[in-house]
Amino acid sequence: MYFNILTLFPEMFNGPLNESMIGRAQENDLLDINIINIRDYASGKHQVTDDAPYGGGAGMVMKVEPVYKAWEDKCRNEKDSSPVILMSPQGRKLNQEIVKDLSAQEGLTVICGHYEGFDDRIRSSIVTDEISIGDYVLTGGELAAMVLIDAVARMIPGVLGDENSVINDSFYNGLLDYPHYTRPRSFKGMEVPEVLLSGNHAEIDKWRQQESLKRTLLRRPDLLEMKTLTDEEIELLEDIKKDLKVKKR
């Protein structure tokens, strides 16, 4: 899978995309990451990439030409209709469902903003999708782009050591993850739950399912609203609610 990244701060990507799994995935040619400096396409000796907003107001606006020229020179490809994604607070909120969909693409072009925002003709000329990583304002789109690329890249077969890691992901089944434990068995009086030491995999799976449902009920009941629960999950949830009521008394 390829990622074209249009940015004014190419060096910001050095760390996150060259280390660990993403770094290794590039070495193993599972990922092809092209970082394009928008400023290289800005005209004039000062290579200006922003300007004052028409109609007045605070802050500066990202100019359309440098972004368009960068896209046209490095990303435009008639044969390939891969998404051109604008990272911005006005975009649809990123979630695992969107990540899964994007990971099926041949590649993605990601545009990182700065300043107050983009000249809207960037949206109307080359952008096919707009994504937000959350309802807060960053100084630039680079960190948002890194979040998106990391989440999508780990869905590509071979990027994570063990494919199963994706399958057992939080949100993979629309629920929060169950608690994990490893050695030592006891730490400052805190013991590993017995069932996990039992070797009884049916019991272990059931415990993990219960813990996942309980954690989701307590922390993210909104996720349960969005999920089609199996009869077994509905039954387990009833027991969990009864259990929590008893504990509350």
> Which residues lie near ligand 4FV (CB under 6 A)?
87-89, 113-115, 117, 132-134, 136-138, 140-141, 144
* Neighbouring residues of 193: CB distance < 8 A, sequence distance ≥ 6: 179, 181, 207
Q: Rank residues 108 and 213 by Cβ distance to ligand 4FV and give the closer one.
A: 108
Nearest alpha carbon to residue 146 among 101, 82, 83, 94: 94
Structure-block tokens of residue 171:
């949100």
Q: Rank residues 59 and 193 by Cβ distance to ligand 4FV and give the closer one.
A: 59
The residue from 89, 129, 130, 208 that is catalytic is 89
The residue from 24, 39, 123, 154 that is catalytic is 154
CB of residue 91 to ligand 4FV, shortest distance in Å: 6
Nearest alpha carbon to residue 174 among 224, 99, 231, 238: 224
Q: Rank residues 115 and 171 by Cβ distance to ligand 4FV and give the closer one.
A: 115
CB of residue 98 to ligand 4FV, shortest distance in Å: 13
CB of residue 66 to ligand 4FV, shortest distance in Å: 15
The residue from 116, 129, 130, 150 that is catalytic is 116
Q: Rank residues 144 and 240 by Cβ distance to ligand 4FV and give the closer one.
A: 144
CB of residue 111 to ligand 4FV, shortest distance in Å: 10
* Neighbouring residues of 59: CB distance < 8 A, sequence distance ≥ 6: 53, 115, 116, 117
CB of residue 126 to ligand 4FV, shortest distance in Å: 17
Q: Is the dihedral of CA 151, 155, 161, 162 positive or negative?
A: positive
Q: List b or e across 183-216, with b for residues whose CB sees 16 or more CB atoms inside 10 angstroms.
A: eeeeeeeeeeeebbeeeeeeebeebbbbbbbbbb
Residue 163: active-site member: no
Q: Rank residues 123 and 206 by Cβ distance to ligand 4FV and give the closer one.
A: 123
The backbone torsions φ and ψ at residue 219, rounded to the nearest 5 degrees and listed phi first, read: -105, -35
**Which strand (E) or helix (H) includes residue 232?**
helix 231-248
Residue 89: active-site member: yes
Give the active site residues.
89, 116, 154, 169
